[in-house]
């Protein structure tokens, strides 16, 4: 996977065009994956926007990025070890929290949900998450 493109900018633009946070990050990486991810598979990100259906749980940008990690390092069934994927995900979690201070939508979002300020703040987090994951993937050679 090549990560030279400005994935953060792409994710931010996707958010501005109507993707939620999880969708925007996953969609920005879609064309960079070493395999085809069909439209049906892309739907998995929809319910993770707004901290999972708007409930302020895990940040959707974090979740979308973690989905990308799972696609690259996860397993497709009970065979094999899940530890390589878990190791990357733990490291990614630590990197995300080091950058943003938390991984929950509630903690990261200080503005009223749906307000222009909230949307702008989410847009910044989404773009930064795309760039942060891109760097992480390059570093890990994923």
Domain of residue 66 covers 7-140
pLDDT at 131: 96
| Whole-number pLDDT of residue 57 | 78
36: number of Cβ within 10 Å = 8
Question: Can you list the residues of the chain whose pLDDT is less than 70?
Answer: 1-5, 53-55
Q: Which residues contact 102 (CB under 8 A, 6 or more apart)?
A: 59, 108
pTM over cut 0.85: yes
87 falls within a domain: yes
Task: Report the pLDDT value the prediction gives residue 94, as an integer from 0 to 100.
Answer: 98
The pLDDT of residue 133 = 97
Note whether residue 14 is domain-resident: yes
Q: Please indicate, yes or no, if residue 1 is contained in any of the structural domains.
A: no
Q: Does the residue 120 lie in any domain? A: yes
The count of other CB atoms within 10 Å of the CB of residue 129 is 28
Question: What per-residue confidence (pLDDT) applies to 55?
Answer: 66
Does 2 fall in a domain?
A: no
Per-residue model confidence (pLDDT) at position 37: 87
Beta bridge partners of 104: 58
CA 52: distance to chain centroid? Answer: 13
- Residues with Cβ within 8 Å of 87's Cβ and at least 6 positions away in sequence, in order, are none
Domain count, the chain: 1
């Amino acid at each position: 996977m090549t990560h030279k493109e400005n994935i953060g900018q792409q994710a931010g633009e996707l958010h501005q065009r109507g993707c939620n946070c999880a969708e925007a990050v996953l969609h920005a990486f879609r064309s960079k994956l070493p395999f085809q991810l069909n439209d049906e598979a892309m739907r998995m990100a929809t319910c993770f926007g707004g901290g999972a259906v708007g409930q302020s749980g895990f940040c959707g940008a974090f979740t979308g990025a973690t989905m990308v990690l799972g696609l690259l390092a996860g397993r497709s069934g009970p065979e094999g070890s899940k530890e390589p994927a878990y190791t990357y995900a733990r490291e990614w979690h630590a990197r995300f929290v080091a950058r943003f201070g938390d991984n929950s939508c509630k903690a990261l979002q200080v503005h009223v949900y749906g307000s222009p300020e909230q949307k702008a703040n989410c847009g910044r987090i989404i773009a930064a998450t795309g760039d942060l994951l891109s760097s992480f993937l390059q570093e890990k050679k994923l």
